């Protein structure tokens, strides 16, 4: 099956803890992304990663950091979670060039609840 | 600056009637492509339409949209709404270098 996979589906934690979310894509894409979808369903791009080049949305707090081992994996680490980090985190991937460039495929998301 | 503005909030339409969701943009940068994404309840967003050509109509699943750079718009339309079209719709603009700008989303509810 070719798709974008995320784990875990849900995660509940307390303020100050560190969390890490995994994302893997089997679509052969060369670019991966992390988005935050808040309770109002606003979608905000956090990071994009292509060929070891990381682009960071300047509004993302420094406690967030992406981690990649290869072009098929892009994990998200939150060093010390805050209540406002409660949201759904969506991973996506796409081709950077070619006929279907920039057409993103999303994973099912990881819902984070910070108590 | 750069922004994408959609029909805000909730749109309710009766089954069988036409529906139009507005999307306009302001930009400092060149636009490479525009997208409409649809997100059904408890699912991930998925591409519905994509366009990178000015004044060319693009269609998929009964929906259509035309990118008009002269009016900075990429409105989504369907001639006859179906109950299964009820979902959250996002308009998104791609400016290159992995930069995407999403609108705030429009929730469409189709009623019998």
Mutate to test the interface with B, among A100, A102, A111 (most CBs of B within 10 A): A102
A5: nearest Cα among A72, A79, A60: A72
Residue B102 to residue A44, Cβ atoms within 8 A: yes
pLDDT tens digit sequence for A48-104:
998 778 888 889 999 999 998 889 999 999 999 999 999 999 999 998 776 667 789
Architecture of the domain defined by A4-114: Sandwich (2.60)
Spell out the domain ranges in chain A: 4-114
β-partners of residue B78 are: B19, B63
Closest chain B residue by Cα to residue A90: B44
Integer Cα distance of A8 and A87 in angstroms? 13
Residue A43 to residue B50, Cβ atoms within 8 A: no
pLDDT tens digit sequence for B25-78:
887 777 778 999 999 998 999 999 999 889 999 999 999 999 998 888 999 999
Cβ neighbors of A97 (< 8 A, separation 6 or more) are none
Contacts of A39 in chain B (CB under 8 A): none
Contacts of A111 in chain B (CB under 8 A): none
Q: Does A25 touch chain B (CB under 8 A)?
A: no
Integer Cα distance of B44 and B38 in angstroms? 8
CATH among 1.20.1050.10, 2.40.10.220, 3.30.70.1400, 2.60.40.10 for B3-111 = 2.60.40.10
pLDDT tens digit sequence for A20-61:
999 999 999 999 999 999 999 999 999 999 877 888 888 999
Distance (Å) from the alpha carbon of B52 to chain A's nearest alpha carbon: 11
B94 → closest Cβ in A4, A55, A102 = A102
Plot region of B32 (φ>0 → left; ψ -120 to 50 → alpha; else → beta)? alpha
Integer Cα distance of B98 and A39 in angstroms? 25
pLDDT for residue B1 is more than 70: no
Query: HEC states along B68-98?
Result: ECCCCECCEEECCCCHHHCEEEEEEEEEECC
């Amino acid at each position: 099956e070719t798709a974008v996979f995320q784990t875990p589906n849900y995660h509940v934690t307390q303020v100050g803890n560190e969390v890490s979310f995994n994302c893997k894509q089997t679509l052969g894409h060369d670019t991966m992304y992390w988005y935050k979808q808040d309770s109002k369903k606003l979608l905000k791009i956090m990071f994009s990663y292509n060929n070891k080049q990381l682009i960071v949305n300047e509004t993302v707090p420094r406690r967030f950091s992406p981690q990649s081992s290869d072009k098929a994996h892009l994990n998200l680490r939150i060093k010390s979670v805050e209540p406002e980090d409660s949201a759904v985190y969506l991973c996506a991937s796409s081709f950077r060039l070619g006929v279907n460039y920039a057409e993103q495929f999303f994973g099912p998301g990881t819902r984070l609840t910070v108590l | 600056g750069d922004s994408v503005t959609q029909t805000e909030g909730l749109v309710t339409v009766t089954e069988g009637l036409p529906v139009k969701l507005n999307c306009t943009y302001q930009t400092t940068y060149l636009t490479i492509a525009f997208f409409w994404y649809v997100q059904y309840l408890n699912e991930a967003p998925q591409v519905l339409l994509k366009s990178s050509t000015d004044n060319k109509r693009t269609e998929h699943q009964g929906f259509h949209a035309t990118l008009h750079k002269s009016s900075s718009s990429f409105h989504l339309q369907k001639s006859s709404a179906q109950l299964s079209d009820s979902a959250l719709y996002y308009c998104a603009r791609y400016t290159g270098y992995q930069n995407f700008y999403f609108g705030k989303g429009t929730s469409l509810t189709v009623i019998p």
